[in-house]
Amino acid sequence: MKKSHILAIGVIAVAIVIIISTAGDASTYVNFEQAYQLASTGSSTQVHVVGQLPKDGAGQVVGIEKSTDNLSFSFLLLDDNNKEQKVFYNEPMPPDFLRSEKVVVIGNYQNSQFIAKKILLKCPSKYQEQKLNAGV
Stretch that binds other proteins, among 35-43, 52-60, 76-84, 86-94 (CB under 8 A): 86-94
The dihedral through the CA atoms of 89, 95, 98, 99 has a sign that is negative
Among 1, 4, 41, 42, binds other proteins (CB under 8 A): 4
CA atoms within 13 A on the CB side of 2: 3
Neighbour count for residue 83 (Cβ, 10 Å): 15
Q: Which of 85, 81, 130, 93 is nearest to 110 (CA)?
A: 85
80 binds other proteins, rule: CB under 8 A:
no
Kindly identify the residues of this chain, within the stretch 90-119, that bind other proteins according to CB under 8 A: 90-96, 99-100, 104, 106, 110-111, 113, 115, 117-118
Residue 55 C-beta: closest distance to other proteins, Å: 18
Find the helix or strand (DSSP H, E) in which 10 lies. Answer: helix 3-25
Closest by CA position to 76, among listed 49, 36, 37: 49
Residues that bind other proteins (CB under 8 A): 2-4, 7, 11, 14-15, 18-19, 21-22, 25-30, 45-48, 65-74, 88, 90-96, 99-100, 104, 106, 110-111, 113, 115, 117-118, 120-121, 123, 126-133, 135-136
